[in-house]
Amino acid sequence: MSTKIDEFKQKIADYTLEKPERKPRQNYVSVLILRELQSAARFTTDGTEANSAVIRIGDTEATVGKLFGRKQVASDRRVAKALQRTLISEQMNSVMKKGVWDGCSMEVTKMCQRCPDCALFGSAASDEGISITSRVMYDEAYSIRSISTIVEEYFQNAPGDNYAKSPTSGIREPDFFKEGTLFPCVVTLKDATPEEVLFFLNITDRNTRYGATGTRFGKVRNHILGVYAGYREGPSSLEVTRGVAMALAGSADREKLKGILTADTLSLDMVCEAAVSVYESLAEKQRVKHDKFDTDYVSKVLSEMKDDAVVKEILETQLVKVGEYVSAD
């Protein structure tokens, strides 16, 4: 395997496990991510209204956009399972106890429970008779700007393919998050192996679609701002979002903060810098000691994983390690 990946695995060795274990320990690897919308996206639960939350930033109460943790993990798992089908189908056939591997499924009770994705992200009890707890902890992610600034309604209909037609019941105006919206996000892996950390980073780097109707809307760029490894869990996404808004405003003054919450756009570079500074400041206040790997370092690791042969080797190594962990015996 390549040099930077080997070096990274050695550096996080104290905060990861050689192979997955069934009894929890206190090993945490947190990934600080800024999700940037590059096209309009639908983050809704009812299919129409944008998900939102009322939060307090200093002395100011604000209604901001919300990206549920569940929507993030579902999208990441789709990428993970597709990657496995592409790279390790043959190897998976050899580890299945009943028939051939058909690529695993997103249906919770029909997952294969033998692949690296199932071992890391978990699955409900199925034919194997075991339930696997996820070791990836997603926070809800919150927008920095207020929902009235970042959401707009798009007129849609489904009237058929005739040239002349009358309006139908298919007409609606769902909420869309505007392109350029930023969601600071913290995802934490607990008791992961080095290969699982690499697997997750590669998935995050590859994934470009989140939200409803992901094949048509929701182009996202995931900026990985840092990886933090330690024995205590770090700050949450909400804490980081609050801190970023305050940092950009420069003070707790309500008018200055309002200017940030209602700004037409925000500087990507300034938000990235603020997110890193806020996360590390919060971690220090919360007495979280960690080893840090900044965006430049992580970028070099990811660059070595642009070759699918390298990713395949990582998955094959992890596949050997999860055998006993996912066994029902």
Beta-bridged to residue 35, according to DSSP, are 183, 222
Local structure of residue 178 (DSSP, 8 states): P
Local structure of residue 14 (DSSP, 8 states): G
- Residue 221, SS3 per DSSP: strand
Beta-bridged to residue 33, according to DSSP, are 185, 224
Residue 88 within any structural domain of the chain: yes
Residue 165 within any structural domain of the chain: no
**β 60-67/52-57 pair status:** antiparallel
Q: Which domain does 262 fall in, by range? A: 3-156+173-322
pLDDT in tens, 160-191: 555 555 555 554 567 889 999 999 999 999 99
Residue 235 within any structural domain of the chain: yes
* Start-to-end C-alpha separation, the chain: 33
Would you say the pTM of this structure is higher than 0.85? yes
Tallying the residues shown for the chain, one arrives at: 329
- Please tell me the total count of domains within the chain: 1
DSSP 271-323: HHHHHHHHHHHHHHHTT--EEEEEHHHHHHHHHHTSSHHHHHHHHHHHHHHHT
Residue 133 within any structural domain of the chain: yes
Q: In sequence order, which ranges of the chain are alpha helices (DSSP H)?
A: 3-11, 69-87, 89-95, 116-121, 147-150, 194-206, 237-249, 254-261, 268-285, 295-304, 308-322
pLDDT value of position 241 = 98
Residue 162 within any structural domain of the chain: no
- pLDDT tens for the chain, 329 residues long, are 568 999 999 999 999 999 999 999 999 999 999 999 999 888 888 777 889 999 999 899 999 999 999 889 999 999 999 999 999 999 998 887 667 888 898 888 888 888 999 999 998 866 656 789 999 999 999 999 999 999 986 545 555 555 555 555 554 567 889 999 999 999 999 999 999 999 999 999 999 998 765 555 779 999 999 999 999 999 999 999 999 999 999 977 889 999 999 999 999 999 999 999 999 999 999 999 999 999 999 999 999 999 999 999 999 999 999 988 887 65
pLDDT value of position 99 = 72
Residue 75 within any structural domain of the chain: yes
| Cα separation, 264 vs 168, whole angstroms | 35
Asked if 200 and 134 count as a contact pair (C-beta separation under 8 A), the reply is no
Residue 292 within any structural domain of the chain: yes
pLDDT value of position 127 = 62
| Cα separation, 100 vs 102, whole angstroms | 6
| Cα separation, 318 vs 206, whole angstroms | 19
